[in-house]
Structure 1
Amino acid sequence: MTMNEAAEIEHDLATQLLIELYSETPPPSRLVTGHFHSGPDYRVVRPDGVGSWYLVYTVAGAGRFRVGDNTVALRHGDLALVRPGTEHDYATVGAHWDNWWAHFQPRRDWHSWFALPEALPGVHHVRLQRPSETDRVLSAFTRLHLDAQRAGLSPTGDTYLHLLDQTLATQLALNGIEEVLLVAISSLRQGTRQLDSRVQLVLDAITTDPAKAHTLTQLAGMAQVSVSRLAHLFKEQVGDSIMNVVLGLRLQRAAELLAATDLSIAQISRAVGFDAPHYFSRQFARRHGQSPSGYRAASASPGPTPEM
């Protein structure tokens, strides 16, 4: 074996180790955020994605996100927003990738903001080009870090944060996420249209009361369009089906109740619109990676902070 061959084998083993190390799924906490400076061999692979939204902003260097055979490149000023359940396969391109990132569960009124351009299935992408935009997004992410530090939360490393539910730090951090999303929308405003008024009407109805027994027929009647037309418009403009958005809103509310109340699983299941607790538990585990009882236990006692 030549020295070059040995070096290639060592490189492959090191790369595989990094893939395995950084593929750990984030815990079901509502917000995990940090700043990461990765080397050339950094890669994350999660075939089933995660149960939270994932936001990543590239400060310097370059990275890429892949879904199937398609890839989107990320460089300075690029903001990527990844939907729950979307395959995670992202990596450094070149020598390094410097980025800020966050896994989070959105506030209810954010869903109408998620109609950003979709570069890949489940991966929205906005390129910020004005210094005023890139500076503001960088400042917002920096404040997420500082707000958590001021709240007395202890990171496990120099740049990673684990924000607990129902804390002032979480709300401040969510304000920062909201600011980042609004900057992205503002950047696109001149070149994109507003949501169709019929889509906005339906979106308002399901976000206001996700536990209600919504049906496509009832919602289409409210919007005064056919079921097929509404389904097409909604998926085109929001990026997901109506029932998937309803499901996500219900599971988000369930997570909030699990963390903040002593209600039983069956009571929470009914409160968020599920008739069968077993079906609720299966859907919750699929979205959050843990059973409802496991999520409640994890919310009560923080665990180790994952990688991005």
Structure 2
Amino acid sequence: MKLEVKTVQLADIVPQIYRADYFPFRPNERIGPRKSFVHSFVYIYEGKGLITIGTTVYSCAREELFYIPPGMPHSFHADHQHPMVHASIYFDWINTIPRVGDMSLFHFGDQICDPSECSPNVVFQDMPAIPTKVHAPKQMRWMELYLHVIENIEQTQQDAKLFRRAAFEQFVSELANLWRNPTLKSDRRMQLIMKQMKEFPQHNISIEKWASQLGISTSYLHKLFIQEIGMSPHSYAIKCKLERAKKILRETNLSITDITEDLGFGSIHYFSRLFTQNYGESPSAYRKRLREGY
């Protein structure tokens, strides 16, 4: 099937997000073949399995990101012991055709797909062709932005929509840097520090102590950290605390005061201000929205 092709520069994109969700597979579950009318990113949040895109079969595992262009046949097969959980975003690079975000985005089976129903393919003038598969650790800032889009897709306020689009554009911008420099390697030392911050956000990690253990200066550690994920150690530590706070708000009845104290935010005002700046709503509003389902 031959689709229209648009040639653009990265700065010209105006993304339109139609659908974004998590999808847990059952053991050995199969979906497809199907074709999407729009562009798709499919992230393997957990588990493993197989993805067939066109005529190529890819093994897939946790923290791998796949790109599927419109009109491309694809199917999924979850592992029987460790089934996949997908975190997917369906979108257009340039908003050309009005659509609704539901199952009408897909053709299933061997149905003939009308090319006029599909979004155009996109060729970027200022970067390489989009790779089908990349490794995408969750702790990278650009993946946190990607997951933020999915987690906040139900918010319908205009400012929330703008925030989502900005997050998606920043995700694409930072992912594009990886496409341009595919040989960039992660620094295992920084990955270890990030792992500690994520697993124990209630602890105040001492950068001076880490620098001493690694035999480097604090300024050099700071530089390495920013090179690794695009933010400072302090900013990442705050991000980990806020993500843990979201989890506690979702899964427990612990009071805002107790969460503030347990995660070492210092004051309720400071915690609430940081939470609102990062997620567009206060901790209590976030909990209420999830509990009441609006």
TM-score under structure 2 normalisation?
0.46
Larger helix percent: 1
Structure with the larger RCO, 1 or 2 (CA within 8 Å, 6+ apart): 1
TM-score under structure 1 normalisation?
0.44
